Amino acid sequence: MSTRSVVVLGSTGSIGTQALDVLGRHGDRFTVAGLSAGGANVRLLAEQVVATRSPVVALADAAAAPALRAALADLAPGWPEPELLLGPSAAEELAGAGADVVLNGVTGAVGLGPTLAALRAGSTLALANKESLVIGGALVTGARRSADQVVPVDSEHSAIWQCLRAGRRSDVRRLVLTASGGPFRGRPADEVKRATPAEALAHPTWSMGPVVTVNSASLVNKGLELIEAHLLFDVPVADITVVVHPQSVVHSMVEFVDGSTIAQASPPDMRLPIALGLSWPDRLDAVAPACDWTAAASWTFEPLDEEAFPAVRLARGAVAASGTHPAVYNAANEECVAAFLAGRIAFGDVVGTIERVLDRHEGVGGDALSLDAVLAADAWARRAAREVLDRR
Ligand SMILES: NC(=O)C1=CN([C@@H]2O[C@H](COP(=O)(O)OP(=O)(O)OC[C@H]3O[C@@H](n4cnc5c(N)ncnc54)[C@H](OP(=O)(O)O)[C@@H]3O)[C@@H](O)[C@H]2O)C=CC1
Ligand SMILES: CC(=O)[C@@H](O)[C@H](O)COP(=O)(O)O
Ligand SMILES: [Mn+2]
């Protein structure tokens, strides 16, 4: 593999820091062309700039620039300052600069601009930011120059990506998306409704950023992932089964028409799908520990309790409803998760509010689906969610 230039968006987050770990261990194969972050962790960002010698830094919060400059001067006195891109469009500008690979590790709908910019620039998009695909839908899949331009980083989709190589696409019967079940698996619905942020943030198998962790607890993450799989692999949602697998070792599966199921398994460690996103179709050496076949282990599978966790059912309905319902599903959820983490609403309000907002949405689809329509649906859903929550 020749050396690849890589832009890491969201470098200070869970995905971003693990990506830099992988890149740092394989400095002979990658150069860091740019880093981007929100601005909440400028000291860490400055340390990353110094460690990677990134020539460009994008910062969404322009007001954090003086602190970043000061941290850089402190850590590397006399070094030439990297080029700074500042403001809400900084990540998009960096994503569109033409690196070989853009890893989108930003959280939330703000990832849409960078995703589209990377695709339009012809870069390979290593996609962790599932929200941009879910809300952009056909706008994102249609911006791909080939199916391989987007390499999924989300663990389940990376697994499916790998399993699909075992047969012809026409021989795929279904995708099987595994879910850990989150911290509330098996708990009574009444108890779950009253869960605190600390309880929702205690994921049983993965250490991740706060939003995706809360989404795992509500199963909204699996709803987003259902839509993500449908879009990435062009499989109808009716042919995607969600199964609860609490150990998070089997990351997802593909069932073929002959009755054979191919699974991808590895101990839960995001560095594996991140590395694959960066290096595809090559595999890097010894990225993470493999399964230990000399030790006894049990893998269990159980159906999802859709009564207690209706988020996946709502996601199926959103896909069927219109091109903008998935953006509404995501935006209503983002509003609710922020309110829940701030202690303003109960955990039980999250999915109920998403359902009410989806019901009220007049969707847009077909040829009328445009970036403006998606952004309008996103903004409408945030207002609608706040109204629903205010009227409780
Ligand atoms: N963490 C994981 O293991 C997994 C995550 N994912 C997905 O990956 C994405 C990232 O998740 P995760 O790493 O957990 O999230 P984190 O919250 O840990 O990190 C988010 C990152 O985005 C940055 N950021 C925030 N706002 C902006 C902005 N406007 N422009 C540019 N950067 C911004 C943050 O910077 P700052 O530090 O300044 O706030 C931070 O670097 C999500 O879509 C998630 O669903 C998918 C599978 C697994
Ligand atoms: C690691 C990863 O890909 C997360 O999106 C993960 O899927 C969260 O786990 P659950 O949503 O299955 O609880
Ligand atoms: Mn996932």
The finding on whether 106 has its CB within 6 A of some atom of ligand 1 is: yes
221 carries a ligand binding annotation: yes
Distance CA 166, CA 161 (A): 10
Q: Name the maximum alpha-carbon separation found in the chain.
A: 65
The finding on whether 126 has its CB within 6 A of some atom of ligand 1 is: no
Domains observed in the chain: 4-152 (3.40.50.720), 322-391 (1.10.1740.10)
pLDDT of res. 70? 97
Among 84, 206, 212, the mutation site with the greatest number of ligand 1 atoms within 8 A of its Cβ is: 212
Q: Which two tokens stand for residue 349?
A: 């309000």
Per residue in 79-93, pLDDT (tens digit) is 999 999 999 999 999
193 carries a ligand binding annotation: no
Contact 217, 308 (CB under 8 A): no
The finding on whether 263 has its CB within 6 A of some atom of ligand 2 is: no
- Spell out, as residue ranges, where the chain has pLDDT lower than 50: none
Tally Cβ neighbours within 10 Å of residue 294. 6
Ligand nearest to the CA of 58: 1
Please choose, from the candidates 278, 177, 178, 269, the residue with its C-alpha nearest in 3D space to the C-alpha of residue 232.
177
129 carries a ligand binding annotation: yes
